Amino acid sequence: MTKRISSGGRPLRIAYGRVFHEGNSYSPLFTEREHFEDFHYFEGKGLSDFLASGKHELVDVLRNAELRGCLETAKKAGDVECVPLLSALAVPGGPISRECFGWIRERLKSAVRAAGKLDGVYLALHGSMRVAELDAAPEGVLIADVKEILGEDAIVAVSYDLHANLSPAIVDTTTILEGYRTNPHRDLRKTGVRAMTQLIQHLRGEFAPVRAWRKLPVILGGGMTIDFLNPMRPLFMHIKRLCRRSDVVSAHIFMVHPFTDAKDLGWAVHVCTDGDQALADKLADELAEMVWNVREVPLPEFQSPADALRDVRKAKIARKLGHIALVDTSDVVGAGATGGNTHILNTLVKEGSDLMVLLPLHDPEAIEELWPNAEGDDVEVTLRGTKGLASQPEVTLSARIDKRVDGDFGRTLVLRHNELRVAITEKSPGPVHPKFWRQLGLSPWKADAIVQKFFFHYRLFYAASLRKNIPVATMGPSSLERIRDRQFDLPTYPKNSVAEWRSFDKVRRAESRA
């Protein structure tokens, strides 16, 4: 096949849409309809109008993502009519409630029914969605819904996040499967381009997707799993080289979102060739073997809050040169946690309030209690963070209200306790960008440390002022302990030491498509 799409061809009608959410099964908060509607939700003409506007496809984060990539490709190809279905996206969080998933399914089905005759469908999906009380991959349910309307032979192209958990229900039901090839993810638009290019070429009879995938008994490994750092760097380079070959269409690693309760959790690889099954199998085996060999590379050591504080103190003399990030690895909002962990706060109030640390905290109950106050008021308050989180310390402190705003994260108050600044928010806080603090009148340049609620992405936005990253471990929805201790029906690394991956692969790929 040619890698680039040609101009013109037989007229095609392709519908496109997105349902995107990463589920954290350990969060006590369900993801509801309003989380999608408040963040990103468009249907039909509303969707195509939005994509035609200059607005960021992903609010604040990325100008263009999968759907603009898809439309751009269709335009370039010529003779392709694109039909907008819907686009629903919410920030990572607890499982989607049954009601909310029912609503998404109904809206998607009604959009597919209204679309009329179609040659194919492209859906940008996550691959690690979770729905309350649903013991199956939600993406598989959506694909099945689409096929129920269009017929079993309908051509469905999908793209997944690199953290997807591949299973027969979301692989074998599709004709084209694409995904991100970067971590942190930077190739969303390109992923849409790749998926749509392959879909159009396939529909025009220019290429026959023949695929192979393998599933590995691994849910954690590969160090930080960053594509440009070892040990993953050589793997991502290998994938790049494969994708440049004229006989290979695509190759991917999928590394799962480990904080889900999916029973069949496990890393996977996927390879697509143009009509060559033996080659697809051979390359998938080789790639699986490479992935298998990096599983035991550990993450950097995480510190306790007290040890981390000691390191911040040591570095204090150089404050004007920037700040330290204390990464609250147990409460990563970017991994679906709530941002309402009080462990680091507890340590700071006890022994670190002389340091200027900026700390965000989800605590809607404290907001409710303190909101009647004005800026400048002195208050006495007990902070409990997100309701429903297990083993959370309660933190009582006297503070001055420095700022009172109703903003992106709902009602927000900045409490000042000595040098410590705590931004308590009504919704889960997203301090991935320094503008979170600037909007509250605080400068990252003046801080000794900032408590981060993201694993990595913030580094891109804080690059100028960020001097050092200290991963801190406490207890919360994104604690690695939860993963390390998890039981599976088949031996899975790191809970079990596993000698080989093929027997796991054989069982998992044969499992029901339900």
Cα distances (Å, whole numbers) of residue 484 to 349, 470, 478, 492: 30, 21, 12, 10
Q: Applying CB under 5 A, which part among 12-20, 106-114, 157-165, 483-491 lies near Zn ion?
A: 157-165
Considering the complex, what minimum distance in angstroms separates the CB of residue 490 from Zn ion? 24
Q: What is the 3-state secondary structure (H, E, C) of 187-250?
A: CHHHHHHHHHHHHHHHHCCCCCEEEEEEECCECCCCCCCCCCCCCCHHHHHHHHHHHHCCCEEE
Biggest CA–CA distance in the chain, Å, is: 72
Distance CA 342, CA 348 (A): 10
For Zn ion, the closer CB: 437 or 458: 458
Pairing of strands 40-43, 80-89: antiparallel
Cβ distance 434 to 289 under 8 Å? Answer: no
Of 31 and 412, the one with the shorter C-beta distance to Zn ion is 31
Copy the structure tokens of residue 444. 């990252």
Question: Does residue 298 have a cis bond before it (omega within 30 degrees)?
Answer: no
Provide the minimum distance between the beta carbon of 382 and Zn ion in the complex, in angstroms, as a whole number.
Answer: 36
Place of tokens 């000794």: 448
- Region of 69-77, 160-168, 225-233, 258-266 interacting with Zn ion (CB under 5 A): 160-168
- Compute CA 216 distance to the chain's CA centroid, rounded to the nearest angstrom: 20
DSSP 44-63: HHHHHHHHHSSS-SBTTTBS
Nearest approach, Cβ of residue 506 and Zn ion (Å): 27
Report the site for Zn ion in 407-436 (rule: CB under 5 A). none
Of 20 and 41, the one with the shorter C-beta distance to Zn ion is 20
Task: Provide the minimum distance between the beta carbon of 249 and Zn ion in the complex, in angstroms, as a whole number.
Answer: 22
Q: With residue 435 as reference, give the H or E element that holds it.
A: helix 435-438
The phi, psi pair for 416, rounded to 5°, reads -110, 125
CA proximity to 108, closest of 14, 40, 199, 17: 17
Q: Is the peptide bond before 431 cis (omega within 30 degrees of 0)?
A: no
- Compare residues 161 and 227 and give the one whose CB is closer to Zn ion: 161
**Minimum CB distance to Zn ion smaller for 163 or for 427:** 163
Nearer to Zn ion, 228 or 445 (CB): 228
393: DSSP letter:
P
Closest CB 163 distance from Zn ion, rounded Å: 4
How far, in Å, CA of 393 to CA of 464, rounded? 34
Comparison of 185 and 204: residue with beta carbon closer to Zn ion: 185
Q: How far is the CB of 58 from Zn ion (least distance, A)?
A: 13
Beta-bridge partner residues of 218: 493
Q: Which stretch binds Zn ion (CB under 5 A): 155-163, 165-173, 333-341, 369-377?
A: 155-163
Size of the site for Zn ion (CB under 5 A): 2
Q: Which one of 71-79, 158-166, 283-291, 375-383 is the stretch in contact with Zn ion (CB under 5 A)?
A: 158-166
- Indicate whether 163 belongs to the interface with Zn ion (CB under 5 A): yes
Closest Cα to residue 137, out of 21, 310, 303? 21
Please identify which residue in 161, 187, 331, 426 interacts with Zn ion, judged by CB under 5 A: 161
Query: How many other CB atoms sit within 10 Å of the CB of residue 82?
Result: 19
In the complex, the smallest distance separating the C-beta of residue 185 from Zn ion, rounded to whole angstroms, is 6
The residue (of 110 and 182) whose beta carbon lies closer to Zn ion is 182
How many beta carbons lie within 10 A of that of residue 359, not counting itself? 26
119 lies in the binding site for Zn ion (CB under 5 A): no
Which pair of tokens denotes residue 279?
């080659």
Taking the complex as a whole, the smallest distance from the CB of residue 278 to Zn ion amounts, in Å, to 31
Q: Name the one range near Zn ion by CB under 5 A: 33-41, 163-171, 262-270, 393-401.
A: 163-171
Of the ranges 156-164, 419-427, 471-479, 506-514, which one interacts with Zn ion (CB under 5 A)? 156-164
Instruction: Compute CA 490 distance to the chain's CA centroid, rounded to the nearest angstrom.
Output: 26
Shortest Å, Cβ 180 to Zn ion: 7
Nearer to Zn ion, 139 or 161 (CB): 161
In 258-336, alpha helices (H): 277-292, 305-315
Q: By C-beta, is 165 or 341 nearer to Zn ion?
A: 165
**Dihedral of CA 488/494/496/502: which sign?**
positive
Site string for Zn ion, 54-83 (x = CB under 5 A): ------------------------------
Least separation in angstroms between residue 109's CB and Zn ion is 27
Residue 121 near residue 16, CB atoms below 8 Å: yes
Residue 113 is which amino acid? R
- Residue at shortest CB range from Zn ion: 163
Nearer to Zn ion, 127 or 360 (CB): 127
CB of 257 to Zn ion, least distance (A): 7
Q: Which is nearer to Zn ion, 69 or 209 (CB)?
A: 69
Q: How far is the CB of 137 from Zn ion (least distance, A)?
A: 16
Binding site for Zn ion (CB under 5 A): 161, 163
